[in-house]
Structure 1
Amino acid sequence: MERIKAKIRGGTKEDIVRGILICCVVLFLVLFLVFPLCTLFMKAFQNKDGAFVGLDQFMKYFQSKSMVYSISHTFFIAIVSTIISVTMAFFFSYALSRKNVPWKGFFRYIGMIPIFAPTMLLGIALIYLFGNKGILTGLGLQIPLYGKVGIIIAESIYCFPVATTILMVAFSAADNRLYEAADTMGTSAIRKMFTITIPNVKYGLISAIFVAFTYSFTDFGAPSVVGGNYNVLATDVYKQVVGQQNFNMGAVVGIILLFPAVLSFAVDRITSQKQSAAISAKSVPYQIKPHRTSDTAATLFCLLVTVAMMLFFAVALFASVIKLWPYNLTFTLSNYDLSKVSSGNGFTAFKNSILISLISAFLGTCITFIGAYVIEKNQKFKTGRRAAYLLSITPLAIPGTVVGLSFIMFFNAPYFQIPFLDGYMLQNPFHGIYGTIWIIVLANMIHFYSVPFSTATTALKGLDKEFETVSESLAVPFYKTLGRVTLPLCMPAICEMWVYFFVNSLVTVSAVVFLFSPAAPIASVVIVSMEGAGQTAPAAAMCMLLLFINLIVRLLYENLKKYRGRK
């Protein structure tokens, strides 16, 4: 920071503005990312009275058999869910990328639907399918739903679209020359799969594995609905913090949740760099060759996946428009009367969620794009830009549960003890935010910061640097170039960033479950409460409303993108 200030004092007015913007980005991330995480780490090494106890809290945690079981359960769920979801995503992506499959757009859009729905909806659909009075249970197909089986099914569906997105990108980077050479030598299809296709997508495959593992390892929504007595770390954190008000032990569990996510983040960064470096400028795009048998098999597989996906959401929709399953199947829309659910707070929660998502999307997009711009389109303040970049990609390694924990511990404290100065306290200037919607807005902005930042950085890297060079030679202020050239050219990326913030802010539950207050309820947390209270049909109705809103927003964005493309 001192180097930035020194360069600002000796620079032009534009350098001063750029330096101030970099300082603002760094300050924002330090205040709302670094400080809360530091508070979380400090809590893990203190007792309830605030005294330093070293590793005693960790020792106490690992001496509890139930806690250790939660760790083993979480790893088992994450590993099995990852294997299932990535395997399904691999063949689904392969079919859409390498085979003559009709209705590819339809199949891909249906496969992406779980991204737009709260994970609780998957658990609710499973209850109506495989619960004690489930549709498929009544047909003789019984499974032990409540426990590891139900969580694995829900997490596999939840991780499937994420893994598919990564693998679709990996399959798009194929070099057709390798396949032509293999065909010339008479290589079989299976041999080409293991010697060309899999090695070509191995970095994307590794990335998909670790991302899916992290998603299933840290998810709270599905285990809260179909977990039963099968404890996992995400629900343990909730019980420790919300149920027992044991913030110190909750901090310990949060740190344990953090380690796999950080490992996944590191592997993902390494594999992403290697994958981009493997694409040659001389590569020839892959040419799909007709093969009736394999094309038919690929089409049937895609059809099976999409039918199964549609079945889950069709059942959830059906559950939301009947009076009482399975005793009264009369059609009704009373479940969608949000003013009568959750003690009359349903409509308020729904309205708050829409408002929070809109604010998070607007502020998050603005701050993220400005941060990416001052880092990418600035040749000065090298140290400051490096610090800003490192802080900008860090949230990708922080699970939502850890974000929520760190925020509640940071914002809930009226004062902070100054280290090594007994009796001296520092007042927390952000304590007034606690219990309002603004703490949730900040949590959403930090939680989802990295992906929009990467989107903005990629878009800015694609612009010719000559724009800035010419504007400087003509003495045109950089902010005019930003407004007249950069923003219009980056508008598709900006819209994508806005949609990402909105969609995820509307359905997230892992972070906000710790931050909501009775005075400001939000939909995703109310859904968990309603389902736990036995109000499954109204909970399904609210889930469907969130899904419909996200789908409408996404469709509007897709149509806008097509319109701009034609224009």
Structure 2
Amino acid sequence: MKKSRDDYLTIFFISIIGIYILIALAFPMYAILSKSVENKDGIFIGFENYQSYFSNPALVYSIYNSLFISIITMVITISLAFVFAYALTKSCMIGKGIFRSIAMIPILVPSLLSGISLIYLFGKQGIFRDLMMGYDIYGPIGIIIAEVFYTFPHALLIIITALSIGDARLYEAAKVLRSKSIRTFFTVTLPSAKYGVISAAFVVFTLVITDFGIPKVIGGQFNVLAVDVYKQVIGQQNFEMGAVVSVVLIFPALLAFVVDRIVQRKQVAILTSRSVVHEPNKNKKFDLIMLIYCSVISVFILTIIGMCLYASLVTFWPYNLSLSLDNYQFDLMDGGGWDSYYNSIRLGCYTAFFGTIVVFTGAYFVEKSRSVKTGRSILHLLSMMPMAIPGMVLGLAYIFFFNHPDNPLNFLYGTMAILVICTITHFYTVSHLTALTSLKQIDNEFEHVSSSLKQPFYKTFFRVTVPISLPAIFEIGIYFFVN
């Protein structure tokens, strides 16, 4: 069958984005993963490093700990985020904008902030240490609470996207048939959001299993895989063993990809060309319950943030609790002072602009293109991989790859450009899933009509797809910027 102009353009754009991901992810990871089969002298030794790793009971126990923490956190976070997203999209409660803004605050801060805050609240010298009733905040309890705080907005972004587009005709039909609210929820609302919920679950699971900031701060003696990477690479300068642990951490992304593809085959479009956007009806009792729920979650988030803000103003915790701004004299500290802050703003702007373009375009071709099936599957697999790579490991991979003197891209090393590329790559998966969730709910009939009228796909993309997906596009841009 003769290929059309759209087919060639699709192949071109998929190839460009695929090459970007190969250079930004696959090649650097190959550079560091090759270390896992080498000794310290760079000599190939096969799987000896793996044998050494799995023969160490303490390191193997870290796998169990990581899975335990990740699964528990995933269940709690998805449950909390779904109800919160449901309140924002399906209720008429007051203050939706305020609650949504508060829920996004954890994205603004590094993951370890929640761990630090919990130490100030419930640690050995914490304000509410007596509330622990003999339990220790250092360990799995502290890690789970802190990880729920950290991953909550990530799950919320995806689930809100899944719930925000619903066909009002289905809800009207349920109302005419006098279906109870609970039945409507399980037969209309939940099926339409199923793909988003599953995607969010794997995002949370992988974020937790690859995070080392929180376990490092509040984990105590509770070892997890990501901390093992930190100990091996930073503590012992054992890059070979750190690469071995990195390989173990990649498996969740592969599992996520397989499950994602299985669910995707069963997913149907929710928004068709004849759909009517669903607007929730007022229900005082339900709206009040949702208001109370969102208030409780918001108080929890603000307490974590507020505690760290207060502690930053304390002169010397807990012995001198007088407030001062001494801790904010950045120019007197190592790290670049205020220049670092301004560089962070520049990095956020560049990452948001270029990252949104790359991610949404890539997701569009993965979801809406009907040609190059193998290429689309490979692109989607590569898009899922960054979530399984801890930022520290990705940064080390960039050192080995881009700093190599024989690499023609060596000129990027030490520039703002390499920071933008690394940041886009590191946060690619969540944005990719957010875009996919939005695109899946737009009927493919738009593309079919455009094709039958012999209109190029990019006209449909700019005139139909982008306007409908603007909320998701803005979410992706904000996600990149604040991270």
TM-score, normalized by length of structure 2? 0.80
Aligned match of 1:360: 351
Measure, in 1, the Cα distance between the counterparts of 2:439 and 2:77. Answer: 30
Cα pair 2:158 2:196 within 8 Å, conserved: yes
The DSSP-based 3-state class of the residue aligned with 1:239 is helix
Shift of 1:313: 1.2
Map 1:128-207 onto structure 2 (within 5 A): 128-137=120-129, 143-172=135-164, 173=166, 175-177=170-172, 179-180=174-175, 183=178, 187=180, 198-199=190-191, 201-207=193-199
1:251 to 2:243 alignment: yes
Does 1:233 pair with 2:228?
Answer: no
Distance 1:488 1:213 in 2: 30
Aligned pair 1:397/2:389, yes or no?
no
Q: CA deviation at 1:304?
A: 1.3
2:259 aligned residue (236, 256, 267): 267
| Preserved contact between residue 170 and residue 201 of structure 1 (Cα < 8 Å) | yes
- CA shift, 1:323, in A, is 1.4
Aligned to 2:204: 212
Q: 1:485-504 maps to which residues of 2 (within 5 A)?
A: 497-504=476-483
Structure with the larger RCO, 1 or 2 (CA within 8 Å, 6+ apart): 2
The residue aligned with 2:110 is 118
CA deviation string 1:128-151 (max 9, x = no partner): 211122122267766411111111
Counterpart Cα distance in 1 of 2:282 and 2:465? 42
Given residue 162 of structure 1, which amino acid in structure 2 is its aligned partner? H
In structure 2, relative to structure 1, the CA distance for the partners of 1:345 and 1:129 (3 Å cut) is same
Assess if the C-alpha contact under 8 Å between 1:182 and 1:192 holds in 2. Answer: no
Tell me, yes or no, if structure 1 residue 326 matches structure 2 residue 321: no
Match of 2:375 among 381, 387, 392: 387
Task: Return the offset for 1:225.
Answer: 1.6
Structure 1 residue 126: Cα displacement: 0.9
Q: Deviations over 1:20-48 (max 9, x none)?
A: 76654443333222222333443223333
1:410 CA displacement: 5.6
Measure how far apart 1:87 and its partner are.
Answer: 1.7
Q: Secondary structure at the match of 1:49?
A: coil
The 3 A distance-change label for structure 1 pair 406 and 50 is farther
Instruction: State the one-letter code of the partner of 1:445.
Output: I
Match of 2:426 in 1: 447
SS at match of 1:81: helix
Residue type of the partner of 2:423? N
| Alpha-carbon distance change, 306 to 493 in structure 1, aligned in 2, over 3 angstroms | closer
- Cα distance between partner residues in 2 of 1:107 and 1:498: 20
**Equivalent residues, number:** 473
| Distance across 2 between alignment mates of 1:491 and 1:286 | 17
Instruction: Check conservation: 1:395, 1:448, Cα contact below 8 A.
Output: no
| Deviation of 1:388 (Å) | 6.8
Q: Is the contact between residue 321 and residue 331 of structure 1 (CA under 8 Å) also seen in structure 2? A: yes
Partner of 2:30: 38
Counterpart residue type for residue 156 of structure 2? T
Q: Is the 8 A contact 1:452 1:497 kept in 2?
A: yes
Partner AA of 2:426 in structure 1: H
Write the letter of the residue equivalent to 1:176. Y
Match of residue 41 from structure 2:
49
Q: CA deviation at 1:271?
A: 3.1
Contact 2:81–2:156 (Cα < 8 Å) also in 1: yes
CA-CA distance at 1:78 after TM superposition: 0.6
**In 1, Cα distance between equivalents of 2:162 and 2:12:** 39
Q: After superposition, give the CA deviation of every residue in 1:382-428 in whole Å (9 maximum; x if it has no partner).
A: 55x96377336623332364565255346426998xxxxxxxxx933
What amino acid sits opposite 2:175 in the alignment? E
Per the alignment, residue 292 of structure 2 pairs with: 300
* Superposed displacement of residue 211, structure 1: 2.0
Q: Take 2:16 and 2:420, find their aligned partners in 1: how far apart are those partners?
A: 18
Residue 41 to residue 117, structure 1, CA distance change in 2 (3 Å): same
Aligned equivalent of 1:70, options 58, 62, 66: 62
Return the letter of the residue paired with 1:405. V
CA contact (8 A) 2:257 2:381 kept: no
Q: 1:234·1:401 contact (CA, 8 Å) conserved in 2?
A: no
Q: Amino acid of the residue matched to residue 121 of structure 1? A: L
Matched residues in 2 for 1:498 and 1:414: separation? 26
TM-aligned CA deviation for residue 155 of structure 1: 0.5
In 2, distance between residues paired with 1:139 and 1:78? 25
- Of 33, 48, 51 in structure 2, the residue corresponding to residue 59 of structure 1 is 51
Identity %: 38
Matched residue type, 2:49: Q
Offset of residue 495 of structure 1: 5.5
C-alpha separation between the residues in 2 aligned to 1:89 and 1:377? 28
Asked if structure 1 preserves the Cα contact closer than 8 Å seen for 2:203 and 2:430, the reply is no
For residue 235 of structure 2, what is the amino acid of its counterpart? G
Describe the shift of the 1:351–1:427 C-alpha distance in structure 2 as closer, same or farther (beyond 3 A): same
In 2, the alpha carbon distance for the partners of 1:239 and 1:311 equals 31
Letter in 2 for 1:113: I
The residue type paired with residue 394 of structure 1 is L
Which of structures 1 and 2 has the bigger CA Rg?
Answer: 1
Structure 2 residue matching 1:330: 3-state secondary structure: strand
Classify 1:494/1:57 alpha carbon distance in 2 versus 1 (closer, same or farther; 3 Å).
same
Give the residue type in structure 2 aligned to 1:399: M
After TM superposition, give the deviation of residue 157 of structure 1 in Å: 1.3
8 Å contact from structure 1 (residues 178, 196) kept in 2: no
**Among residues 101, 124, 141, which one is paired with 1:109 in the alignment?**
101
Moved more, 17-26 or 108-117: 17-26
Structure 1: state its 5+ residue gaps.
1-6, 417-425, 505-567
Measured in 2, the distance between the counterparts of 1:387 and 1:43 equals: 29
Structure-1 separation of matches of 2:162 and 2:187: 16
Greater shift in the superposed pair: 356-365 or 114-123: 356-365
Whole-Å separation in 2 of the counterparts to 1:246 and 1:165:
37
Q: 1:36 touches 1:407 (CA, 8 Å); kept in 2?
A: no
Query: Cα RMSD (Å) of the superposition?
Result: 4.3
- Alpha-carbon shift at residue 462 of structure 1 (Å): 9.1
Cα contact 2:24–2:421 (8 A) shared by 1? yes
In the TM superposition, what are the counterparts of 1:505-544 in structure 2 within 5 Å?
none
Letter in 2 for 1:167: I
Q: Could you tell me how far apart the structure 2 residues matched to 1:377 and 1:190 are?
A: 33
User: 2:329 & 2:242 partners in 1: Cα distance?
Assistant: 36
What secondary structure does 2:322 align onto? strand
